[in-house]
Chain A
Amino acid sequence: MAVFTHPIVRFIARRLLYSLVVLVGVLVVVFSLVHLVPGDPVRIALGTRYTPEAYDALRSASGLDRPIVEQFFGYMGSALTGNLGVSFRNGDPVALTLLERLPATASLGLVGIVIALLIALPAGIWSALRQGRISDVIVRITSQFGVSIPDFWLGILLIALFATTLGWLPTSGYRPLFDDPAGWLRHIVLPGLTVGLVAAAIMTRYVRSAVLEVASMGYVRTARSKGLTPRVVTFRHTVRNALVPVLTITGIQLATILGGVIVVEVVFAWPGLGRLVYNAVAARDYPVIQGAVLLIAALFLLINLIVDVLYAVVDPRIRLA
C-alpha cells in the first residue's frame, strides 16, 4: 500500500476531501435558496397563472409539501445522482436543460481564456522585463483600463463597431461548433473578445508580478552570474518558473468566467448557462436557479481542485507544505 503514503497521493486525497466538504456546504446553500424566499415560492413562481389546482400540482411535484428534513435529504440524494428536479415554468428536467446549455458557455469560456492568455503572457512578460520603462507603464495603464471597463459596455461597443457599423460579424446569436464550424467562429469572435479582453487585463498583472518575483530570486542571479545569455536566463529560469503561479490564476479566471459570463451572454443572446440563470431569476423558476447555481459552483470547485493538483505535480514544494 506504498501508493497511499506517497506525498502527492496524500495531497490529492486531502484536497479532494476538502472539496467534498465545501461541496456539501454548497448543497446546503442551494437547498436553502428556495426556503429563504419570503412568502410561498410556488405562489410567487406561478404569479398570474395561479389557480388552486396548478398550485397543488406544482407544490407536490417539487416536493415542497413534504417535511423539510425529508426534503433536504431527498434533494441531496437526487442531486448526487444527477436529478435536479423539474422546471417550474415548463416542467423540463433541470439537469437536461443544464447539459444542453453547458457547451455554449464552455466554448465561450475556453475561447475567452485562450484570447486572455494570448494577450496576457507576452504583455505581462514584456512589461516585467522592461520594468519602469515606458512600455511597462503603457502595459500597466492599459491593463488597469481593462480591469475597470464594464464587460457589457465593452460588448455593446464591439457590436456597434464590428457588427452594426462595419458589418463584419453578426451582432448576436450562436451556432453549435460541430454543426456549423464557420458560423460558430463568426458568432464567437465578439463575445469571446469581450470576455477575453477583460480577463487579459487581470491576467497581465499577474504574469508581470510573477515574472518580477522570480526574477528577484537567488537562482536567477546565479544563472546570470555564471555567464548564461540573457535569453536563456529569461526563458529557462525566469519565465518557466513564473508559469507556475500563472497556472493558478488561469484556473481561477476560467472558473470566474464560467460564473461571470451572465451579462455577456445576455448582450450577445448567447444560449448558455448565464442566460439560463438570468431568465430563471426573472421568472422565479427556483429549480432551474438552484440547478444552475449548483452546477457552476461545482465546476468552480472542480477547476480549483484540478489546478491545485497540477500545481502540486509541477511544484514539489507545495505537496510538502
Chain B
Amino acid sequence: MTTVTAETTRVASWRLLLRNPVTVVSALVLAVVVFVAVAATWIAPFGINDVDVASALRPPSGEHWFGTDELGRDVLSRVVVATQASMRIAVVSVAFAVIVGVTVGIVAGYRGGWVDTVFMRVVDVMFAFPVLLLALAVVAILGPGTITTILAIGIVYTPIFARVARASTLSVRVEPFVQMSQAMGTGNLYILTRHIVPNIAGPLVVQTSLSLAFAILSEAALSFLGLGIQPPQPSLGRMIFDSQGFVTMAWWMAVFPGAAIFVIVLAFNLVGDGLRDVLDPKQRTMIEARSKR
C-alpha cells in the first residue's frame, strides 16, 4: 500500500513538473548547455588561443558568429570552452558543498545536543561572512587558480546545505516511522541512510539547482577579478573584464560571454523554482537570498 502511494506521488510530481512550460524549456536549455560543455572541444570552430591580429575586433559574421576579440581570437570558441570550465567548477564545488554540508547537517540534526550546538555555531560564523568576501579570503590564503576557486565556492555554499539538511532532518526525526524504527533498535546508520536521507532529498535537490546558479555567478565574479580561472584558459568572467576597453567598438566581446552566464544562471534558477513548486512547496526562500552573491 505504501509503495503504491509513494509511486503515485512520484508520478504525480513528474507530471506536475512537466506541465510547467517554463520548467520544461529551462530544462531543455540546461540540456543544451550540458551538451555544449561536454562536447566543447569538438564544437568550438576555432582554437581558443588562435591569434590572428589581421582579423582583430571583427563583428559577428558567417565565419565568426560571435565576432573576434582584440587579438583576433574567435569569441564563440572561447565562450564554448569557457562554458565548459564554468560548468565543471560549478558542479564540482556544489558537489563538495552538498557532501560536506549535508553530512554536517544530518549529523547535527539527528544527534542533537552538543554536537548540534557546536556544528551550528560554526555554520553561524560562516554565515557572518558575505559570500564573495569569504571566497576572496580563501583565494588570499591559497592563491588564485581553478582548484582554489572550486574550494572557495564549495566552502562558501557548505553552510547553506548544512542548514537545509539540519532543518529537514529535525522535522523528519520526530515522524512516527523514525521513532518506531529507533524503538525497534535499528542502527543509526541504517535510519540515516534509509529513512532520513530519502525524506529530506526534496529540499536538497531544490537547493542544489539554485546553488549551481549562484556557483556559476561566483566563479564568473572571481574570474572577472582575475582570481579564478587563469589565462591562457578562457573564462566567461575574464572575457567580460577584458572587453571593458572595447565596449563601444566591439560590443560583441562583452555581450556574448555575459549572455552565456545569464542564460545558464537563469536556466538553473528556473529549474530550481519549478522543482521547488513540486518537491518542497513550503520552503521559505530565506536561504536563497543569503546564497546570492
Partner-B contacts on A (CB < 8 A): 21-23, 25-26, 28-29, 33, 36-38, 144-145, 147-153, 156-157, 159-160, 164-165, 198, 202, 205-206, 209, 249, 252-253, 255-256, 258-260, 262-263, 266-267, 277-278, 280-282, 284, 286, 289, 293, 296-297, 300-301
Nearest first, the 10 A-B pairs at minimum CB distance are A259-B130, A25-B125, A153-B258, A148-B266, A148-B265, A160-B247, A260-B293, A281-B140, A297-B128, A259-B133
Please tell me if the beta carbons of B262 and A148 are within 8 angstroms of each other in the complex.
yes
Q: How large is the interface on B (under 10, 10 to 19, 20 to 34, 35 or more residues)?
A: 35 or more
Asked whether any CB of chain A lies closer than 8 Å to the CB of B122, the reply is yes
The one of B140, B225, B293 in contact with A266, judged by C-beta atoms closer than 8 angstroms, is B225
Contact A263 B221 (CB under 8 A): yes
The contact of A301 among B128, B220, B244, by CB within 8 Å, is: B128
Q: Are B262 and A260 in contact (CB under 8 A)?
A: no
**B225 lies within 8 A of A202 (CB):** no
Separation of A302 and B255 alpha carbons in the complex (Å)? 39
Q: Are A157 and B122 in contact (CB under 8 A)?
A: no
CA distance A209 to B227 in the complex (A): 37
Give every chain A residue within 8 A of B251 (Cβ-Cβ).
160
User: Which residue of the partner chain, among B142, B220, B226, B289, contacts A202 with CB atoms under 8 Å?
Assistant: B289
Which one of B121, B124, B289 contacts A253 once the chains associate, using CB atoms below 8 Å? B289
Which of B122, B142, B220, B269 has a CB less than 8 Å from the CB of A25? B122
Cα–Cα, bound, A255→B131 (Å): 11
Q: In the complex the two chains form, is A152's CB within 8 Å of B133's CB?
A: no
CB-CB nearest in chain A for B139: A281
Within 8 A of A (CB), among B238-285: 240-241, 243-244, 247-248, 251, 254-255, 258, 261-262, 265-266, 269-270, 273, 285
* B266 A150 Cβ-Cβ under 8 A: no
CA gap between A282 and B225 in the complex, in Å: 9
In contact, B247 and A293 (Cβ under 8 angstroms): no
The yes or no answer to B46 lying at the interface (CB within 8 A) is: no
In the complex, are the beta carbons of B213 and A277 less than 8 A apart? no
Q: Do B292 and A256 touch (CB < 8 A)?
A: yes
Q: A289 to B243, alpha carbons, bound, how many Å?
A: 28
Residue with the highest number of chain A CB atoms closer than 10 Å, among B124, B130, B220, B270:
B130
Per the bound structure, the CA–CA distance linking A286 and B137 in Å amounts to 10
- Docked Cα-Cα span, A253 to B291, in Å, equals 11
Contact in complex: A260, B132 (CB < 8 Å):
yes
Q: Is B76 an interface residue, CB under 8 A from the partner? A: no
> B164 at interface (Cβ–Cβ under 8 A)?
no
Decide if B130 touches A300 in the complex (CB within 8 Å): yes
Name the CB-closest residue of B to A267. Answer: B244
**B261 nearest in chain A by CB position:** A150
Is there an interface contact between A262 and B136, defined as CB atoms closer than 8 Å? yes
Besides A149-B262, A266-B224, 7 more A-B contacts (Cβ < 8 Å) are A33-B141, A153-B262, A156-B247, A156-B258, A160-B254, A259-B131, A289-B136
Q: Is B217 an interface residue (CB 8 A)?
A: yes
B194 contacts the other chain (Cβ, under 8 Å)? no
Interchain CB contact under 8 A, B225 and A263: yes
**B283 CB, nearest partner CB in chain A, Å:** 11
In the complex, A21 Cα to B125 Cα: how many Å? 9
- Identify 9 residue pairs between A and B in the complex whose beta-carbon atoms are under 8 Å apart, listed by A's number: A25-B124, A150-B221, A150-B258, A152-B224, A153-B240, A256-B292, A260-B133, A262-B225, A300-B130
Q: Which residue of B lies closest to A199 (CB)?
A: B292
Contacts of A258 in B (CB 8 A): 130
CB distance from B83 to the nearest CB of A (A): 14
Residue B290, interface by CB 8 Å: yes
Bound-state CA distance A143–B227 (Å) is 29
- Is the Cβ of B213 less than 8 Å from the Cβ of A148? yes
Give the complex CA separation of A276 and B244 in angstroms: 20
Residues facing A in B33-86 (CB within 8 A) are none
Q: Which residues of A contact B132 (CB under 8 A)?
A: 259-260, 262-263
Contact B125 A144 (CB under 8 A): no
Q: Are B270 and A278 in touch, CB under 8 angstroms?
A: no
Closest CB of chain B to A55's CB: distance in Å?
A: 19
The CA-CA distance from A165 to B203 in the complex, in Å, is 46
Task: Indicate if the CB atoms of A260 and B136 lie closer than 8 Å.
Answer: no
Residues of A within 8 A of B142 (CB): 38
Q: Which of B121, B122, B136, B237 contacts A277 (CB 8 A)?
A: B136
At the interface, yes or no: B177 with Cβ under 8 Å from chain A?
no
Cα distance, A249 to B129, chains bound together (Å)? 17
Tell me the complex Cα distance, A149–B216, Å: 11
Q: Which of A160, A165, A206, A300 contacts B128 (CB 8 A)?
A: A300
Closest to B220 in A: A150
- Of the candidates A252, A267, A296, the one whose C-beta lies within 8 Å of that of B289 is A252
Task: Flag if B292 contacts A147 (CB, 8 Å).
Answer: yes
Residue in chain A with minimal CB distance to B264: A148
With A25-B122, A145-B266, A160-B254 given, is the CB distance from A300 to B136 under 8 Å?
A: no
